[in-house]
Amino acid sequence: MTASDYLCAALLIIGGLFFMAGTFGLLRFPDVFTRLHALTKADNVGLGLTVAGLALQAESWAVAGKLLLIWLLVLLAGASVSHLIAQGALQRGMRPWKR
Amino acid sequence: MQTLFLTLALFLVLNLGAGMWRVLRGPTAADRMLAAQLFGTTAVAILLLLAEATGGAALRDVALVFALLAAVTAVAFVRRAWLYTEDGNDSE
Amino acid sequence: MSAAFFYALAGAGLFSIGLHALLAHRHLLRKILAINVMGSGVFLVLAAMATRNGIAIPDPVPHAMIITGIVVAVAATALALVLMLKLTAETGQAVLPGRKKEDNP
Amino acid sequence: METLIAGAIDVALALAVVGLAWGALASADLFKAIVLFVAFGLVMALVWVRLNAPDVALAEAAIGAGVTGALLLAAYAKLRAASPDANVARAGGMRGIGSISIRILILLLAAALGCAVWTLPSDYAGLGKEVAANIDRSGVSNPVTAVLLNFRGYDTLLEVMVLLLALMGTWSVGATAPQRETAPGPVLDSLSRLLAPLLILVAAYLLWVGAHAPGGAFQAGAVLAAAGVMLLLSGWRLPAALAALPLRLALAAGPATFLLLAVITVLLEGRLLQLPPLWAGRLILIIETTATISIGATLIALFLGAPPGKEDRQ
């Protein structure tokens, strides 16, 4: 294994942990707003680290570019959907959870 | 490395199974939709890992299509269905 | 046993679950979902059978049929949904009119 | 080790598919059923990948994520608008002796199907060899595209006709319940502005790549349809100038080209859709392009329900 292999493995494993954290947050957090927060961790950071790790292994720049594009698209979708759902939830009178 | 890719893919598939719990539990329609959204992102990651593990370049195209369409169902929910779900309508 | 046979069994299971739901539910949207699940079960058996030729590349003919089937299924679903909505607009409920005594839910 | 992990992935996916289908069909709440069904389609795409069917995975991903979910959720909204208590549908299932006998029959059927699947011979060559032997004369190098548009082109011909028939049926039923929408807002607006051109670009890419790698007319058409669905959901409506003749031309382009080619091949080659090897590549590209446009337009029109201009909205 080369240095970039180790880096790739580290990025992928941390990315996987963020996915786990996102799922865990989705299951444990008390209301829709906090769950949105958990979801975007998986979207942004989890997939971001996965893509970064895989890009190190990519056989060509085209593949790395496609990976980056995929991540940016998921970011765009995740951010927009989160905004729409949070806005809708507020309009429907749901209030963010307070301790 | 192959082993790592596959192990992580398996791990993410199990994550999907855990996320199913939130779809089942709700309680609000928005919660179910959020879980479905997480399903989509996780599927993208699984596809990219499998593409690297099995050398199937076409899987990245599948992931690309998923990433492009990740918002469509949720937008349909926000724009159409949410008005009529149990939590969506104040009068109910 | 190879993984493909496991998927084929899952396909048979999907078909059975779907058929049961198709018969047991009266709500038309559930019947539509049930038919779609049955279709997916059939596709799954087809795709699993396509891997039996012992080489890395499966038989492409079942794959072509499944792709055709997926597109036809979504078109049929759209038509079924419109018919369901029309029936609901006429009768006020999304169930097929009962043959006899059964009280309206 | 790797085969073991791959096997575990297969087992987990198969269980997830069956579990999601069960949940979707058994849940009392209709909205939950729809969300579970959408998730079911998503996991099915992963199953196709595991079964080495990337073409099918692409089609499932595009249709499942782009069209089915939106179609079901829009129908759900219309259904609730037409009859507010339509969600309370758990009542009225079969009860008593009928229910039990049905269950026993279904269990017997499941056992019989399982047996049938189990006892199938595990080595069956299929038609893969024949396809591989003739692929050079098909005009494309992706075997699935070769089967869809050359070797079994009549399947695809009938399939685009079925799509057109489904749309005719939908249009002849007439407009259904009026639908309410929330206001689009700037975020949705910019999202659809960004996504729609990208979707059209990816549709073109899939159409082109289908000649030698997974992709093709169905996948491209479905992605095109998703672009339309996205625009419709963001409040866009087909301009009146395009709603009459241009829309019909787009709907009919694929079936018409296909039919024309079928007639010509019968007259010249003596067999339905027997493409001459020299021309096959170019002919397939023409059919696929028109079919993509028609499939996309038909799916968008199916999502819209009534013919454009005739839908009654509030």
pLDDT per residue as tens digits for the range B54-71: 888 889 999 999 999 988
Higher-scoring residue by pLDDT: C101, D188? D188
The answer, yes or no, to whether residue D188 has pLDDT greater than 90, is no
Token readout for B57 is 């370049």
E strand or H helix at D296: helix D277-304
Whether A16 and A51 have beta carbons less than 8 Å apart is answered as no
**Predicted local distance difference test score (pLDDT) of residue C57:** 78
D175 and D103 in a common domain? no
The answer, yes or no, to whether residue D239 has pLDDT greater than 90, is no
Residues forming a β-bridge with C95? C27
The number of residues in chain B equals 92
Q: CB-based contacts of D120: which residues, under 8 Å, 6+ apart?
A: C8, C49, C52
CA distance C90 to D192: 35
**D-chain residues near C25 (CB < 8 A):** 25, 89, 93
| Helix/strand/coil for B46 | helix
What percent of chain D stands above pLDDT 70?
90
Per-residue pLDDT band for D150 (boundaries 50, 70, 90) equals: confident
- Best CA proximity match to D34, nearest among D69, D83, D61: D69
The answer, yes or no, to whether residue B90 has pLDDT greater than 60, is no
**D-chain residues near B46 (CB < 8 A):** 46
Judged by CB atoms closer than 8 Å, whether chains meet at B84 and D80 is answered as yes
Distances (CA, A) of D308 to C75, D48, D71, D296: 18, 36, 16, 15
**Predicted local distance difference test score (pLDDT) of residue D237:** 81
Nearest residue, CB atoms, A54 vs list B28, B48, B82: B48
Sign of CA dihedral D86, D87, D88, D91: positive
Mean pLDDT in chain D? Answer: 86
**Predicted local distance difference test score (pLDDT) of residue D180:** 66
D205 and D97 in a common domain? no
**Predicted local distance difference test score (pLDDT) of residue D93:** 52
Higher-scoring residue by pLDDT: B6, A93? B6
Calculate the dihedral angle through the C-alpha atoms of D77, D78, D82, D86, rounding to the nearest 10 degrees.
-50
pLDDT per residue as tens digits for the range B2-26: 889 999 999 999 999 888 888 888 7
Structural domains in chain A (count): 1
Judged by CB atoms closer than 8 Å, whether chains meet at D303 and C78 is answered as yes
**Predicted local distance difference test score (pLDDT) of residue D168:** 92
Residue type (1 letter), B73: T
> Region A45-71: what's the mean pLDDT?
91
**Predicted local distance difference test score (pLDDT) of residue D130:** 83
Is A96 a member of any domain? no
Angle D58-D44-B37 from CA coordinates, rounded to 5° = 85
D165 and D108 in a common domain? no
Query: Which residue on chain A is closest to B31 by alpha carbon?
Result: A32
Q: Please, what are the domains in chain C?
A: 3-91 (1.10.287.3510)
Question: Which of A21-25, A79-83, A89-93 has the weakest average pLDDT?
Answer: A89-93
Judged by CB atoms closer than 8 Å, whether chains meet at D47 and C93 is answered as no
Query: Which residue on chain D is closest to B51 by alpha carbon?
Result: D49
**Predicted local distance difference test score (pLDDT) of residue C103:** 46
Q: Tell me: cis bond preceding B27? Omega within 30 of 0 counts.
A: yes
Higher-scoring residue by pLDDT: C11, D128? C11
E strand or H helix at C73: helix C60-91
**D-chain residues near A73 (CB < 8 A):** 198
Please tell me if residue A42 touches chain B, with a CB cutoff of 8 Å.
yes
Distances (CA, A) of D67 to A57, A81, D233, D246: 34, 17, 12, 22
**Predicted local distance difference test score (pLDDT) of residue C105:** 43
Residue type (1 letter), B7: T
Judged by CB atoms closer than 8 Å, whether chains meet at A84 and D198 is answered as no
Q: How far is D186 from chain B (nearest CA, A)?
A: 13
Is A97 a member of any domain? no
Please tell me if residue C105 touches chain D, with a CB cutoff of 8 Å.
yes
R_g over Cα of chain B = 16
Our separate counts of H helices and E strands in chain C read 3, 0
Is A34 a member of any domain? yes
Whether D153 and C62 have beta carbons less than 8 Å apart is answered as no
Is D193 a member of any domain? yes
Calculate the dihedral angle through the C-alpha atoms of D95, D97, D103, D105, rounding to the nearest 10 degrees.
-140
CA distance A52 to A15: 9
D291 and D155 in a common domain? yes
Its domain, for residue D255, covers: 141-309
What single-letter DSSP state applies at residue C97? P
D230 and D169 in a common domain? yes
pLDDT per residue as tens digits for the range D189-199: 889 889 999 99
Is A46 a member of any domain? yes
**A-chain residues near B71 (CB < 8 A):** 76-77, 80-81
Q: How far is C77 from chain D (nearest CA, A)?
A: 9
Token readout for B62 is 């599948």
Please tell me if residue A94 touches chain B, with a CB cutoff of 8 Å.
yes
Is D39 a member of any domain? no
pTM, full prediction: 0.92
Per-position DSSP letters for D268-280, written without gaps between them: HHSSTT---HHHH
- Best CA proximity match to C45, nearest among B43, D120, D8: D120
Per-residue pLDDT band for D91 (boundaries 50, 70, 90) equals: very low
Nearest residue, CB atoms, B64 vs list D13, D69, D202: D202
* Per-window interface: B 16-75 vs A, CB < 8 A: 18-19, 21-22, 28, 30-31, 33-35, 37-38, 40-42, 44-45, 48-49, 52, 57, 60, 63-64, 67-68, 70-71, 74-75
**Predicted local distance difference test score (pLDDT) of residue C102:** 47
**C-chain residues near D20 (CB < 8 A):** none
Best A76, A82, A92 member to test D by mutation, with max D CBs in 10 Å, is A76
D113 and D165 in a common domain? no
Token readout for D127 is 């038609």
D145 and D116 in a common domain? no
Neighbours of chain C (3+ CB pairs under 8 A): D
Its domain, for residue A62, covers: 3-91
Structural domains in chain D (count): 2
Per-residue pLDDT band for B87 (boundaries 50, 70, 90) equals: low
Higher-scoring residue by pLDDT: B32, C99? B32
> Region D101-124: what's the mean pLDDT?
86
The answer, yes or no, to whether residue D131 has pLDDT greater than 80, is yes
> Region D223-237: what's the mean pLDDT?
90
| Helix/strand/coil for D85 | helix
- Count Cα neighbours of B35 within 13 Å in the Cβ-side half-sphere: 31
Tens of pLDDT along chain C (105 residues)?
577 888 999 999 999 999 999 988 888 899 999 999 999 999 999 998 888 876 777 888 999 999 999 999 999 999 999 999 888 888 877 787 765 444 444
D202 and D147 in a common domain? yes
Per-residue pLDDT band for D24 (boundaries 50, 70, 90) equals: very high
